Structure 1
Amino acid sequence: MSADFAGKTIAITGAAGGIGQGLCRFFGQQGATIGALDRSEAVLAFAKSLKDDGIAIQAAVADIAKPDAVRAAMTAFGDVHILINNAGLSRHPTVASTDPAGWEEDIAANLNGAYNCAHAVLPQMVERRGGAIVNVGSVNGLHALGDPAYSAAKAGMIAMTKALAMEYGRYSIRANIVLPGTVRTPLWDARKVKNPDVLKRLERWYPLGRIVEPDEVARVIAFLASDAASAVTGAAIPVDCGLMAGNIVMAREITLEEF
């Protein structure tokens, strides 16, 4: 059990999703009390299953795009020592397929929702003179990879993270963001039904030759949330099997070398 997380409450948004479930399980096994937040009622059954396994967890159903609902959920969680803004979605793959309502939906579900959650817990962190916020962004925030509204929101999350780090560092509150690449979640099972080779096609873009596993994201988040990263704030860290290191497919074509 990690001494960094024992006795602490960690609020995790998007808790019913693939990465979210992994985060709840990971930190719960480290002795933390989990505040699991999701707009899907599936989070209630998930929380019960973890509670049956001996993990201290309470769940709340709320849409993070709605500030009042977020405030009520965070209040119910009590003292929130660490916030992990994991929730997010993308429903509009191209600019052409994105109308104004769709743009607003993706921005609200990603950027605005993360802000609402941070806004809800910052006062108590300031009062305690300590806390950590870890935002879950995406490599889409650094590079054009489709899903333009989602990508714009994730880019905004990077800027928001740096602003939080700048303004709240004097209260010993740290804010960092991880930027996952393609992560192996149940979402890809549905994609594989349509195209069984979709992951093989993606993997050739990754220098490590594979996509990211959920627990690999969790371990980087755990580092940033822990005392081991006590001097780290305002950082944006790709967790992407090397995707942002360069364009390996183009490099192979140019050099005619398979490296």
Structure 2
Amino acid sequence: MGRFEGYGVLVTGAGRGIGEAVARRLAGEGAWVLVTDLDGERAEKAAAGIRERGGAAEALACDVADRTAVEEAVAHAVRQFGTLDVLVNNAHSCHPDTPLFEDGADDTWARDLDITLTGAYRCARAALPHLAAAPDRRGAIVSIGSVNGEQDFGNHAYSAAKAGLAGLTRTLAGHAAPRGVRVNLVAPGTVHTDGWAGREAGLEAAAGHYPLGRVGLPEDIAAAVAFLASRDAAWITGVTLPVDGGILISQSGLRGALLGE
């Protein structure tokens, strides 16, 4: 029996990349998964792929910037699955920085924060009463943060949103714990997703800076999410778990300069 047999799960931004890998992993361990994405066709394609592998998945278009859409997605999951036990906040927005910080636009800053941080807040707010009602204190929220929320890797608005998401994880964990719901965050390093199409040379160059010698795969992140969402992590809440190939503990360029390498 899989770790998520009988669980109802909602994953945002799950039409591709990390979100799709998370949905596939949890469905593979027995969960009923609602695959949500801003692009409904992409969500349906991801859900169909899960069903082809023998998993249970439905798809629904959902804009996490829209409170009504979020509440409808949560209600849909509860209606279809009879329960909502796990929420995975993966939807995000990331605009490139302008060359000069002062040239940044208010609308792109607001969009990145609204989708990445406030979107997760909307989803958690809608889902929490149902997660608290889950049997055996198995309700869990796992959000996808980033090493950008821990250290400077560029992208001002995105990094600020991810840092805020880590803060929300801690405060919400304290609030939700007496209600039987755990709240944690996974902070990936560079992950090879479709978003890197056409920039593979950058990925190859980045790999050399990672102590483990490669960039991540969506499946690496999905494995960590599955752990934190499962009863294997029943005594873990409020943490940020870096899944980053060691990049946060390595300053290889500076180390090389100091050691004359």
Q: Secondary structure at the match of 2:142?
A: strand
Which segments of 5 or more consecutive residues in structure 2 lack a partner in the other structure? none
Residues 1:116 and 2:122 aligned together:
yes
Relative to the length of structure 2, the TM-score reads 0.92
Cα distance between partner residues in 2 of 1:241 and 1:60: 33
Aligned length: 252
What is the aligned-residue RMSD (CA, Å)?
Answer: 1.4
Residues 1:100 and 2:106 aligned together:
yes
1:192-244 CA-partner distances (Å, limit 9, x unpaired): 3xxxx212221222111111111111111111111111110001011000000
- Residue 93 of structure 2 aligns to which amino acid in structure 1? L
Relative to the length of structure 1, the TM-score reads 0.93
Other-structure match for 2:16 = 17
Residues 1:40 and 2:39 aligned together:
yes
1:156-203 CA-partner distances (Å, limit 9, x unpaired): 0000000111011011110000100000111112323xxxx2122212
Cα distance between partner residues in 2 of 1:113 and 1:156: 12
Q: How far 1:96 sits from its partner (Å)?
A: 4.5
- Residue 186 of structure 1 aligns to which amino acid in structure 2? D
Cα distance between partner residues in 2 of 1:156 and 1:5: 29
Other-structure match for 1:181 = 189
Cα distance between partner residues in 1 of 2:60 and 2:166: 26
1:68-90 CA-partner distances (Å, limit 9, x unpaired): 10000110011210011111120
Other-structure match for 2:177 = 169
Q: Secondary structure at the match of 2:71?
A: helix
Which moves more between the two structures, 90-99 or 220-229? 90-99
Which segments of 5 or more consecutive residues in structure 1 lack a partner in the other structure? none
Q: How far 1:93 sits from its partner (Å)?
A: 2.4
Q: Is the 8 A contact 2:88 2:144 kept in 1?
A: yes
Cα distance between partner residues in 1 of 2:124 and 2:224: 20
Q: Secondary structure at the match of 1:88?
A: coil
Q: Secondary structure at the match of 2:23?
A: helix
In the TM superposition, 1:60-75 aligns within 5 A as: 60-75=60-75
Cα distance between partner residues in 1 of 2:43 and 2:228: 25
Cα distance between partner residues in 2 of 1:256 and 1:204: 18
Residues 1:237 and 2:241 aligned together:
yes
Change (3 A) 1:6 1:97: farther
Q: Secondary structure at the match of 1:35?
A: strand
Other-structure match for 1:252 = 256
Q: Is the 8 A contact 2:13 2:19 kept in 1?
A: yes
- Residue 170 of structure 2 aligns to which amino acid in structure 1? K
Cα distance between partner residues in 1 of 2:47 and 2:16: 12
Percent identity of paired positions between Structure 1 and Structure 2: 36
In the TM superposition, 1:79-158 aligns within 5 A as: 79-94=83-98, 95-96=101-102, 98-128=104-134, 130=137, 131-158=139-166
